[in-house]
Structure 1
Amino acid sequence: MTIADYVALFLAQNNIKHVFGMTGGASLHLIHAIRKRADIEMVFTHHEQSAAMCADAYSRVSKNLGAAIATSGPGATNLITGICCSFFDSVPTIYITGQVSTFRSNEGTGVRQIGFQETNIVEICRPITKYVVKLTDANLIRHELEKCRYIALMDRPGPVLIDIPDNLQRVEIDPMNLKSFEIPDSNTPPIINTHKVGLFKLIKEITRSKRPVVIVGWGARLSHAEEVLAEFLSELNFPILPTWAAVDLFDPNDERVVGTFGTHGTRAGNYTVQNADFILVLGSRLDTHATGSPPQTFARDALKFVVDIDPHEINKFEKIGIRVEEAFCLDIRKFIELFLNILDKNDLPNIDLWRATIKSWKDKYPPGIESKEHLSVNPYDFMKSLSEHAESGDQIVSDTGCALAWAMQSFKFKDGQRFFHAFNNTPMGYALPAAIACAFVHPDKKIICIVGDGSIQLNIQELATIAHHKLNIKIFVINNFGYSMIKQTQDQWLNSEYVGSSITGGLSMPNFPRVAEAYGINSFQIETQSSISEVLTNVFNLSGPVLCDVHIPDDFRVAPQVKYGFPIEDGEPFLRRDEFLCNMIVEPLSVSLTRGKN
């Protein structure tokens, strides 16, 4: 067989059922090798960025490696945004690029390029991959592919890239004589001995806490710890604060679940985390979206214990000014196993007063209560209604911007539903490709795609892919005729001058139903509050792809939202200071005492 045939065989043997890509001269042999196999399907997108994002989402949904292929030069560089999604969210993906033939390489010449579309994608992608390599010896193809797989999945997962010159793809090899990759030996000391002192310190501080919370992040999904996590949280019975990446793990009607927190979180969630005296963080790196800026203002009176598999994430806390009492560099499943072995439930504190306080915040500040009244569509009401119409088992994908923030504050997930987003790279244009990947993994399920009017245009060409495969994707375009998230920043810092974020500021928006019609996709519009439920019913009654254009007033903003320089308990619109102070158990910061309504 050829190298190209072996690559296709390797992908199939690793249970990858779909590979995403766009045809190009330097990748043709790879693509043809995949296409002629019956046990793997080549899905063609209309942009390599879409293919990379499809591979990223495919891995998230399938809990297996995702794969994408691109040609050399611009094809390879177009993958970069999707690779970043996998890198920052620790998603195991393999990206395969074609390269100019070795006899056309510029290596050792000092010139910029010899072969047509020659680009050194290896060095470009080195900072955003766990491993990247250019194949130089045909006999090393097995070794490099197995090494890519091992590194992509080991410890903190992530993307890998292998660059294969065009002439090597055609080389005939004997697969029985190929060199394999040997997994390196591990000399890790016994985990219980390493963390024994820290675990007993953790138990001691849990016993003494009066206002404890547990933060659950994306690491719970990455470690496939869903079942043991549920047992752990049941034993502990503490209030739960999910990050956006973990929000679909929990029943929103569970009294332990407070809500999301951070710069675009709920008021109840932010009051809870900021007034806590003890925080156990499971699989969240606590980025500035979660902590606010400066990070030192985050949960400033709480003892913090962190579980994270990446020592670099743990070590960064000192640099950014967050004190951590004890860190456990462990897989979450292993941590829970160790913890439950030494936990005595009789040592758990009585936190009934704390639970009552949290409930009062949840009752007083439900999502959307601070939004303006409009006869047209209130996005908070729309998201609530969308969640009511969605069924158990539906897969929900969101793009970035206000559409994401409104969903994260008010969408109530049902049992069996999953939510997907590129949480840390959070690029515009992610939702359509991610929805495509979801549809291929789960052809029997309904895919709900939430995307802004700006974001959809970055990969709007993938409507052709959706229509071609007749994918059961319901696309909801949150259309506020501009970039509302940018407008909110311009409100805060630039005197509401909406340059580059509005129609008057230079943007242009198409008629989305007509665009859908051009691709052969059914469409609906929602322009009033009263029509939301009826139109949603009509959308979900149709099989196949549907686009629904949801008109949101262009002055609607995310509320609450925390301005830079303020702690996350003090989001805009500012509460009256007497009301704000009544909600604070810990000492308020001076910046909060001098701003806001009197």
Structure 2
Amino acid sequence: MSKIKLTDYVTEFLQRKGIHDFFGYQGTMIAHLVDSIEHNPNTRSHSSYNEQGAAFAACGYAQAKDACACAYATSGPGAVNLLSGVADAYFDSLPIIFITGQLNTYEYSGINGLRQQGFQEIDIVSMAKPVTKYAVQIREPQDIIRELNLAWQIANTGRKGPVLIDLPMNVQRGEVCDPVYDMEFPEEETETAVYGQKNSGNGAAFYRKAVDKADSADADVAAEDILCKLRKARRPVFMIGHGAAGSAEKNLVRIAREHHIPVITSVLARSVLSWDDPLNCGCIGGAYGHRYANMIANAKSDLLVCFGISLCTRQIGTKVHEFAKNAEIVRVDIDPYNLQREIHEGGKDEKCFCVSAEEVAEKLLADEKEIGSYGEWLSVCQRIRKELTQVDDATPERYPNRMIAYLSGQLGDTGAVAVDVGQHMVWSYQSFHNKQNQKLLFSGGHGAMGYALPAAIGAYYATGKPVACICGDGAFQMNIQELQWVKRENIPVKMIVMNNEALGMIRHLQRDYFDCVFADTSDGSGFSSCAFADVAKAYGIPSKRIQREEVEDASGEFLEQNGPGLLEIMLENGTYAYPKTCLGEPIHNQQPYIPKQIFDELMEI
């Protein structure tokens, strides 16, 4: 009988699965795990300065690598600090193993209703359950074999997502007999674990009921239906979301390229295609999507084939039943609950398949000879993109977009660019000229300010290439302490802070709906920003502050330097993000409005 210390087993297990970089913050009740990571010659621990930073670093790692990541924290406040990153991973389908330390099991009193069992004790499992696929506390060392294998499979199959394992300190130092590293579980068992957690024990039965509401869970049937509709369509579009990440998106792009099918993406799937790819018809968005993507999808196409994209109101607008009402919609999604979002009223001209995009893409690729060519339609889409881009480029208020377009050229050698949440996020997904295989990373569903800097750090360890992050002054201050992480490990991350000395997106809202009362969003009204370049210098990081009109003359040489660097760009206080859909308008008619002649011409072609 072989024996191994529990935390050595956990470290060895994850290392064998391909995880060599662990993100976290040391503490008494996680010290055994950190010691095991330190002693394993194939693993490395990277310490953040707030556990939220570690969690977001794991998110950036998982996004950039399309692989599982790991983050850890001690008990109590350390574990709670992870939760924003846990939620980010859950909503954006990122496979991450979160490990928390916990009070020794023998310190539990057994008294029901006791507010706290001991110092820094908290029921992190109950807190994490709503934003994990699976969360469990280990009470007996031998249980870790089943639970870790199960958690790994749950995180990395189906709709991927985070799991959390809570390890009491005495369990961490316990021994495991005859360790197993490749245990597999039937689908029914993982479904019961995942959906039982969400639905009070109904488990797989509840999940299966949701699946049955979709038309089929068979990839062959889905592929055949799509092929049939493609044969009849004149103006099809592939809509690709993050649920098609990996081999699915690669096969779908290959099919689209061969048959000249336009491609529209979600924000999270924004870098599926390079900026200048002739298939690239933009990013859908109910409020701030590309004009041309919104027009093509909402008003011009006769068939939308949707792979792993939720079609939530953030993407298609609040008037859901008005979206693409003249087009057929086929939806392929592994999450049956997403498919319960009814787009067309009564489900008219809408077909849903609860099956993975990967399986369907493989079937379509095998039968792609049955798909026609849509070159003439693609040319129409390219004209729409060109003319509406010219409309936007002529809008004076969009100078930050032009700035982003220029800066993207200076950041062309980066493997990944993490973008925070705010106006700069809109400017970036609208106008960053990403190259092929250069990933743009976003906090999508959770929309967490403070995401970008630690996510960029995680992306560096995932890619081994220089990285960048783009932030606003509000967002950057959320995790500004991670500048010390950058300095300590000399991480080659270029940090762009677009400083308008305001919470610009909320300020825009206040202008339109609150009579220009800029409460808590502007300097002098409850909000202010620091001198970021000076702060970076205090951390020992090269930095530079420039005015917006100096970007083209003063940024290039600074951004070309090796190693980390922070570029602070001062903008006007009253910046705005355009185009923007006004409440109640169709998403293809955004402000500032398209000149009527151009609009009418494009709607006619």
TM-score, normalised on structure 1? Answer: 0.90
2:354 is matched with which residue?
Answer: 329
| Residue number in structure 2 paired with 1:390 | 411
For 1:252, the equivalent position in structure 2 comes to: 275
What amino acid sits opposite 2:297 in the alignment? V
Would the alpha carbon gap of residues 198 and 114 (structure 1) be closer, same or farther in structure 2, given more than 3 Å must change? closer
Secondary structure at the counterpart of residue 468 of structure 1: helix
CA distance 1:185–1:582, change in 2 (3 Å): closer
> How far apart, in 2, do the equivalents of 1:421 and 1:564 lie?
25
The one-letter amino acid of 1:329's match is C
Matched, 1:301 2:304: no
Does the Cα contact within 8 Å between 1:439 and 1:447 map onto a contact in 2? yes
- The alpha carbon displacement at 1:494 in A equals 1.3
Write out aligned runs for 1:164-243 (5 A). Answer: 164-174=167-177, 176=178, 181-184=183-186, 194=218, 196=220, 198-221=222-245, 223-243=246-266
User: Retained in 2: the 8 A contact 1:367–1:409?
Assistant: no
Deviation at 1:272, TM superposition (A): 0.9
Q: Which residue of 2 aligns with 1:559?
A: 578
CA distance in 1, matches of 2:135, 2:254: 39
The 3 A distance-change label for structure 1 pair 321 and 569 is farther
Question: In structure 2, how many angstroms separate the alpha carbons of the residues matched to 1:319 and 1:78?
Answer: 41
Which amino acid counterpart does residue 546 of structure 1 have in structure 2?
Answer: G
Partner of 1:427: 448
Partner Cα distance (1:184, 1:388) in 2: 48
**CA deviation string 1:237-277 (max 9, x = no partner):** 12211222222121322322222221211211111111122
Q: Is the 8 A contact 1:144 1:181 kept in 2?
A: no
Distance apart, 1:69 and its partner CA: 0.8
CA contact (8 A) 1:105 1:118 kept: no
- Cα 1:510–1:540 change in 2 (3 A) is same
Question: Percentage identity across aligned positions?
Answer: 30
- Deviation sequence 1:70-91 (CA, Å, 0-9, x none): 1111111111110011101111
- Structure 1 residues 227, 270: CA separation in 2 closer, same or farther (over 3 Å shift)? closer
Partner in structure 2 of residue 591 of structure 1 = none
- For residues 496-552 of structure 1, give each alpha carbon's deviation from its aligned partner in whole angstroms, at most 9, with x where no partner exists: 2211111132101101111011100111122042x2233222222321110000112
The equivalent of 2:291 in structure 1 is 267
1:570 aligned partner: 589
Q: How does 1:59-138 map to 2 (within 5 A)?
A: 59-105=62-108, 107-138=110-141
Change (3 A) 1:195 1:146: closer
Q: Secondary structure at the match of 1:558?
A: coil
Contact 1:308 1:329 (8 Å CA) reproduced: yes
Matches within 5 A, 1:574-589: 574-575=593-594, 580-584=599-603
Structure 2 partner of 1:139:
142
SS at structure 1 position matched to 2:393: coil
| 2:543 corresponding residue in structure 1 | 523
Q: Which moved more, 1:549-558 or 1:75-84?
A: 549-558
C-alpha displacement at 1:202, in angstroms? Answer: 2.9
Correspondence 1:312 to 2:332: no
Find the residue that maps to 2:176 and give its secondary structure: coil
Counterpart position of 1:48: 51
Aligned to 2:531: 511
Counterparts in 2 of 1:382 and 1:433: CA distance versus 1, 3 Å? same
Q: Deviations over 1:299-323 (max 9, x none)?
A: 1221101111111111222699765
- The alpha carbon displacement at 1:150 in A equals 0.7
Q: Which residue of 1 aligns with 2:553?
A: 534
Taking a change above 3 Å as real, the CA distance of residues 560 and 6 of structure 1, as seen in their structure-2 partners, is: same
Cα separation, 2, equivalents of 1:364 and 1:24: 54
* Whole-angstrom distance in 2 between the partners of 1:318 and 1:548: 43
The corresponding residue for 1:289 is 314
Say if 1:317 and 1:324, in contact at 8 Å, map to a contact too: no
Match of 1:594 in 2: none
2:482 alignment partner AA: E
When structure 1 is superposed on structure 2, of 557-566 and 137-146 the one drifting more is 557-566
The Cα offsets for residues 326-369 of structure 1, whole Å up to 9 and x where unpaired, read as: 22222223112222444445x63656267336514522434742
> 1:107: how far off?
4.6
Alignment match, 1:418? 439
CA deviation vs aligned residue, 1:148-182 (integer Å, no higher than 9, x gap):
101101111100000011111122333x1679844
Q: Does the 8 Å contact 1:8/1:30 carry over to 2?
A: yes
Range 235-244 or range 406-415, more displaced: 235-244
Match of 2:569 among 541, 547, 550: 550
1:12 Cα deviation after fit: 1.8
Preserved CA contact (<8 Å) 2:217 2:353: no
SS class of match (1:143): helix
354 and 540 in structure 1: CA distance in 2 versus 1, 3 angstrom threshold: closer
d(CA) in 1 for partners of 2:469, 2:16:
31
**8 A contact 2:100–2:167 mirrored in 1:** yes
Distance change (3 Å), C-alpha of 1:41 and 1:201: closer
CA pair 580-7 structure 1, distance change in 2 beyond 3 A = same
Distance (Å, rounded) in 1 between the aligned partners of 2:599 and 2:180: 68
Q: CA 1:361–1:149 in 2, change beyond 3 Å: closer, same or farther?
A: closer
Letter aligned with residue 242 of structure 1: T
What are the Cα deviations for residues 158-211 of structure 1, in whole angstroms up to 9, with x where unaligned? Answer: 00000011111122333x16798441167999x999455554443333233233
2-structure distance, mates of 1:354, 1:514:
49
Name the CA shift for 1:580/1:472 in 2 (closer, same or farther; >3 Å). same
1:369 alignment partner in structure 2: 393
Matched position secondary structure for 2:268 = helix
Structure 2 gaps of 5+ residues are 190-207
- Supply the distance in 2 between the matched residues of 1:100 and 1:559 (Cα, whole angstroms): 51
Q: Deviation at 1:397?
A: 1.0
Over 3 Å counting, the alpha-carbon distance change for 1:193 and 1:493 in structure 2 is closer
Q: What do the CA deviations read for 1:95-131 (whole angstroms, capped 9, x no partner)?
A: 0001111122255522111211111111111111111
User: SS state of the match for residue 78, structure 1?
Assistant: helix
Change in CA separation of 1:251 and 1:367 when aligned onto 2, cut-off 3 Å = farther
Give, in angstroms, the shift of residue 389 of structure 1: 2.0
Q: Distance in 2 between matches of 1:246 and 1:505?
A: 37
Confirm or deny: 8 A CA contact 2:391 2:594 kept in the other structure: no
Q: Is the 8 A contact 2:95 2:162 kept in 1?
A: yes
Cα RMSD, aligned residues only: 2.7
Q: Is the 8 A contact 2:26 2:74 kept in 1?
A: yes
Secondary structure of 1:258's partner? strand
2:72 aligned counterpart, secondary structure = strand
For residues 497 and 159 of structure 1, the distance between their equivalents in structure 2, rounded to whole angstroms, comes to 40
Contact 1:258 1:362 in 2 (8 A): no
Work out which of the residue numbers 148, 153, 156 in structure 2 matches 1:153. 156
DSSP-derived class of the 1:148 partner: helix
Q: Distance in 1 between matches of 2:217 and 2:104?
A: 53
TM-score w.r.t. structure 2 length? Answer: 0.89
Question: Shift in Å at residue 480 of structure 1?
Answer: 0.8
User: How many residues get paired?
Assistant: 577
1:575 Cα deviation from its structure 2 partner: 4.1
- Counterpart of 1:94, as a letter, is I
Of 33, 37, 43, which aligns to 2:36? Answer: 33
Q: Distance in 2 between matches of 1:2 and 1:371?
A: 63
For the 8 Å contact 1:211–1:351, the answer to whether it is kept is no
Q: CA separation of 1:320/1:132 partners in 2, compared to 1, >3 Å: closer, same or farther?
A: farther
Instruction: Report the alpha carbon displacement of residue 581 of structure 1 after superposing the two structures with TM.
Output: 4.9
Q: Give, in whole Å, the separation in 1 of the partners of 2:408 and 2:20.
A: 30
The corresponding residue for 2:423 is 402
